[in-house]
Amino acid sequence: MITALYPGSFDPLTHGHLDIVDRAAGIFDRVVIAVLENPSKQPLFTTGERVAMIRESLGDRKGVEVSTFSGLTIDFARQVGARVIVRGLRAVSDFESEFQMALMNRRLEPDVTTVFIPTSLRHLFLSSSLIKELAEFGGDISEFVPANVVGPLKQRLTAGTPRP
């Protein structure tokens, strides 16, 4: 039984993330999506909101769980019994920092291996921050994020709505 941890900000979840989840779920027995509580980042959605949206987007997918974590990813990987950390790779620009993180995590815990899953071509330029910009300026985000994310995203980015 191999558990894979898929950590990230998911602020908000996009089809790019879901694609990685689906492919990881096709390889590993159990996938734990872990939403990072990062006090140094100013998120658009609280971790609770992100978890709820991810759960709703997942529908009846089997073998996929969602939780939150703070602190070191590797500590949370140990906590959930994960032998694998999954990260998605888009352009070359993702590579350097991801490689650095993977090596550091390996140093901290040699029994946990980072596995990179390359993005699908159609999600190559998709990122949560780009989606937020697009939504903020009234662009159509419906093809980039799950249906249940569209409403909350538009609502949160409406002028005057305070960020959490």
Q: What share of the chain is helix, strand, coil (3-state, %, to 5)?
A: 45, 20, 35
Query: What is residue 120's three-state secondary structure?
Result: coil
Q: Which amino acid is present at 29?
A: D
Active site residue 128: yes
For the chain, list the strands marked E by DSSP. 3-8, 30-36, 64-69, 84-89, 113-118
- Residue 88 touches ligand ADP, criterion: CB under 6 A: yes
Minimum CB separation from ligand ADP for residue 160, in Å? 26
- Which part of the chain contacts ligand ADP (CB under 6 A), choosing from 15-23, 49-57, 130-138, 151-159? 15-23
Choosing from 17, 30, 87, 156, the catalytic residue is: 17
- Residue 10 touches ligand ADP, criterion: CB under 6 A: yes
Residues with active-site annotation:
17, 41, 90, 128
Which residues in this chain contact ligand ADP in the complex, by CB under 6 A?
A: 8-10, 14, 16-17, 20, 87-88, 90, 94, 119, 123, 126-128
